[in-house]
């Protein structure tokens, strides 16, 4: 992101002049006060909100004007947003179906991802029967299935209780590491950021500020 400014449909510009570079495979946590624009930055990267100044580049390609579905970006939302009428496996395979993967290759890839998030035995389970932690791991697997170039996670643990959040933060980091994916995680919790990310960046009114040591959070 270079000089990134993002606008809402009503014309408000809550994010101005954000500069941030990630190395391939790096996990960065974006933290800041409520209303600082953390989630809006993610939506700008994904193309879900209008970028009115600056640019977004992925792998050296300027994607600022590229449609969302062609950016190679995956996203995990706060509530997972699973499809209630689909099983766990069919949720994970949704993006592959949309991309035209044949059934055999979909089945193989879905099995790989469910094994990666530790839910292989739940492939045929209705998603309504899942716990909160299981549902978020399914959402993570679904986002990883198409092998995105960048994965964006918007407060992925905020709806869970404290004990589960702590355990799942470790699990998500392990999954992201195993997948080798570049990721931006939005969170308001500094300790959670330290567990999940290689680097913590604070979003403030004047842009972004690197908080220093990899994996340590603010110094």
The beta strands (E) that lie in 32-91 are given as 50-55, 57-58, 61-62, 73-76
pTM of the model: 0.86
What phi, psi does 99 have (nearest 5°)? -85, -5
pLDDT at 10: 87
pLDDT at 210: 53
Residue 7 bridge partners (DSSP): 50
pLDDT at 173: 92
| Residues in the chain, total | 219
pLDDT at 124: 95
pLDDT at 109: 95
- DSSP assigned state of 41: H
Its sign, for the CA torsion 183, 189, 191, 192, is negative
pLDDT at 57: 96
Domains of the chain: 2-82+132-210 (3.40.50.300)
Residue 54 Cα distances to 18, 46, 97, angstroms: 8, 14, 34
pLDDT at 105: 94
Task: Tell me the two tokens of residue 125.
Answer: 């389970």
* Mean pLDDT in order along the chain per 10 residues (219 residues): 92 90 96 85 93 94 93 87 93 90 93 93 93 91 93 88 84 92 93 93 66 37
Pairing mode, strands 27-31 and 15-18? unpaired
Inter-residue contact 140 to 173 (CB < 8 Å): no
pLDDT at 200: 95
Which residues are within 8 A (CB) of 93 and not within 5 positions of it... i.e. 6 or more apart?
101, 106, 107, 109, 110, 142, 145
């Amino acid at each position: 992101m270079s000089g990134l400014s993002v606008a809402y449909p009503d014309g408000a510009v809550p994010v101005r002049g954000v500069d941030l570079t990630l190395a391939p495979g790096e996990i960065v946590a974006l933290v800041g006060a409520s209303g600082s624009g953390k989630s809006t930055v993610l939506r700008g990267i994904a193309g879900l909100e209008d970028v009115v100044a600056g640019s977004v580049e992925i792998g050296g390609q300027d994607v600022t004007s590229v449609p969302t579905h062609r950016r190679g970006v995956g996203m995990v939302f706060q509530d997972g947003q699973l499809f209630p009428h689909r099983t766990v496996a069919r949720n994970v395979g949704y993006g592959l179906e949309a991309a035209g993967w044949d059934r055999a290759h979909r089945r193989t890839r879905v099995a790989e991802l469910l094994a990666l998030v530790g839910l292989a035995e739940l492939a045929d389970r209705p998603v309504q029967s899942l716990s909160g932690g299981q549902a978020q791991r399914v959402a993570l697997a679904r986002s990883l299935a198409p092998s995105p170039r960048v994965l964006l996670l918007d407060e992925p643990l905020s709806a869970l209780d404290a004990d589960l959040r702590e355990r799942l933060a470790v699990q998500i980091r392990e999954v992201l590491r195993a997948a080798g994916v570049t990721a931006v995680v939005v969170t308001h919790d500094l300790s959670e950021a330290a567990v999940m990310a290689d680097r913590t960046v604070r979003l403030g009114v004047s842009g972004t500020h690197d908080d220093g040591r990899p994996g340590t959070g603010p110094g």
